[in-house]
Chains A and B, each alone.
Chain A
Amino acid sequence: MLELKNICFSADGKQILNNINLVIDDAKFIVITGPNGSGKSTLAKIIAGIEQPDSGQILLDGQDITQWGITERAKAGISFAFQQPVRFKGVTVKDLVTLASGQDLSTAAACEYLSEVGLCAKDYIDREVNSSLSGGELKRIEIATVMARKTKLTLFDEPEAGIDLWSFKNLIDVFEKMHKEIHGSILIISHQERILNIADQVVVINAGQVAQVGTKDEVLPGLFGVDTGCRYMQGGNE
């Protein structure tokens, strides 16, 4: 279980997060949504240790991890899929998936993760994770790396962005399969109605604060019925 207590964060004199309190129960599928600039991505980075809060506490299974660095949190079971995946010259897809899994992976095992995200494994496994790959390909490789980690908490920052050539349904299947097989919590930052629809719990962040927490049935009608200024997409990219 992850608990955020009174998390505040500011940057360049601007308050980004203002007293966030949130509990992420085990094995839950949670979607955080809210207007652009509301602090969602910052919140995910604070959970992963990429940003440090100005004040407040982060507890993982009751243990205070607020002062822990990125590596310690990763080892404790937190994974983070970047909104904009990082490119590496010389590091291959197999290298990255192997590092993510934390063990020596056979090519066949590494290929399985790629197949899960709809990439023809033999075409990609030895490719470098560099600018020769498209944004959509990088995004799917990013998802494959966090799948390989099999951690108790996986954060996705706008996974739908850039998934242009791959069907939306497949992305949702990946989340559902991960949720079922790993039994960990999945926390997704998204504007996509179809992702919101599979959530156990929807958290709405607005102006750096938790505006609403509830089931999708409780939250979605309010989101789509009232103009919150959010960029919600009710279609898909199929």
Chain B
Amino acid sequence: MLNDVIKSLLAEVSGMEEIPLNGAFNIRNNGQSEGRNSTETIQIVPKEGGSGIDIYIKPGTKNESVHIPALITEAGVNDLVYNDFHIGEDADVTIVAGCGIHNCGGEDSVHSGIHRFFVGKNAKVKYVEKHIGEGDGNGKRIINPQTHVEAEENSYVEMDTVQLKGVDSTKRVSSAVLAEGATLIIKEKIMTHGQQYAETSFDVDLNGKGSSAQLISRSVARDQSRQLFRSKLSGNTECYGHSECDAIIMDEGVVAAEPEIVAHNVDATLIHEAAIGKIAGDQLVKLMTLGLTEKEAEAQIINGFLK
């Protein structure tokens, strides 16, 4: 039986409210497995010593999903987990990860999820990752995810990652190597409050002819929170790469963007766009002329921006 704290976190990070009866999943709580299920086409195999899992998705698996939420519901837990996804050729799957920390104590709780994706030829993967922190303890809620993608020929990987509340500190490191015709799209949405700190680092090698990558980060920094956005796109052949950092700063929030695009080949097309600023005054005025108060207008603009 799952307790209410676990149920609530599960629902928040992965949309699961109970242990499902079918479908592939692994629920990790405080470093222990709370439940696991494999299916005919998706096998979840624990690594030795409980340090993580291997997820094997058979070639040609279509329209299936895997849920692997990781939770921490106690103070003072430092959980490091290694999860490897082996996605067979021609598969088309959705992977829902995500991490929730409920910390009511005085000691920090840390989750570090190291995920590697080995994506077979022509496979299509949607990877959804949501991070939240909650609980009223003084201990910090720290989430440091690392994601590495190796995308084979003509594969497609889309990663949606969201962190909107409660995480005191995060360092998010994502890297990818793309083969011929492979596509990577990463959409990141972050909002920080209070004294929170968020750091994002992307490093993508476009190695295959016709490969493409889009890295899109939208973030809001409120109060005294700080954010750092780093991205490096290396175009090593005929390829297309686009990175975009778009940030709204409020109060005394600070956002820094350090983009790097490197073309090692004359046929590489690489673009970076970065915009950091407060909410535009004319946006507030427009919504106020529709009858919204300034606060309501601000909330609408932020909600839309991070939608």
Q: A50-B285, A70-B285 are in contact. Are A89 and B304 (CB under 8 A)?
A: yes
A-B contact pairs, 19 of them (CB 8 A): A48-B289, A50-B289, A69-B288, A70-B285, A71-B292, A74-B291, A79-B289, A82-B286, A86-B282, A86-B285, A86-B286, A88-B301, A90-B303, A90-B305, A91-B300, A91-B301, A99-B292, A100-B290, A145-B290
Q: A86-B280, A86-B283, A91-B300 are in contact. Are A74 and B289 (CB under 8 A)?
A: yes
Q: Please report the number of residue pairs spanning A and B whose Cβ atoms sit closer than 8 angstroms.
A: 60
A80 is an interface residue with CB less than 8 A from chain B: yes
B287 is an interface residue with CB less than 8 A from chain A: yes
| Neighbouring A residues of B280 by C-beta, 8 Å | 86
Q: Given A86-B283, A90-B306, 6 more contacts at CB 8 Å?
A: A71-B291, A80-B289, A88-B304, A90-B305, A91-B300, A91-B301
| Neighbouring A residues of B289 by C-beta, 8 Å | 48, 50, 70, 74, 78-80
Contact across chains for A95 and B304 when beta carbons are under 8 A apart: yes
Of A71, A85, A88, A102, which is within 8 A of B293 by CB? A71
Closest to B306 in A: A90
B251 is an interface residue with CB less than 8 A from chain A: no
**Bound Cα distance from A95 to B304, whole angstroms:** 9
A residues with a Cβ closer than 8 A to B are: 48, 50, 69-71, 74-75, 78-80, 82, 85-86, 88-92, 95-96, 99-100, 102, 128, 145, 149
B252 is an interface residue with CB less than 8 A from chain A: no
Interface of A is mostly: mixed
B residues with a Cβ closer than 8 A to A are: 218, 246, 280, 282-283, 285-294, 300-301, 303-307
Closest to B288 in A: A70
**Bound Cα distance from A149 to B304, whole angstroms:** 21
**Bound Cα distance from A220 to B283, whole angstroms:** 36
**Bound Cα distance from A100 to B286, whole angstroms:** 10
| Neighbouring A residues of B287 by C-beta, 8 Å | 99
Contact across chains for B285 and A102 when beta carbons are under 8 A apart: no
A-B CB proximity, top 3 nearest: A90-B304, A91-B304, A70-B288
Contact across chains for A71 and B288 when beta carbons are under 8 A apart: yes
**Bound Cα distance from A88 to B291, whole angstroms:** 17
**Bound Cα distance from A99 to B282, whole angstroms:** 16
Contact across chains for B288 and A90 when beta carbons are under 8 A apart: no
| Neighbouring A residues of B306 by C-beta, 8 Å | 90
Report B241 CB to chain A, min CB distance, Å: 20
| Neighbouring B residues of A95 by C-beta, 8 Å | 300, 304
**Bound Cα distance from A100 to B289, whole angstroms:** 9
Which of A79, A92, A100, A149 is the most central at the interface, judged by chain B CB atoms within 10 Å of its CB?
A100
Closest to A90 in B: B304
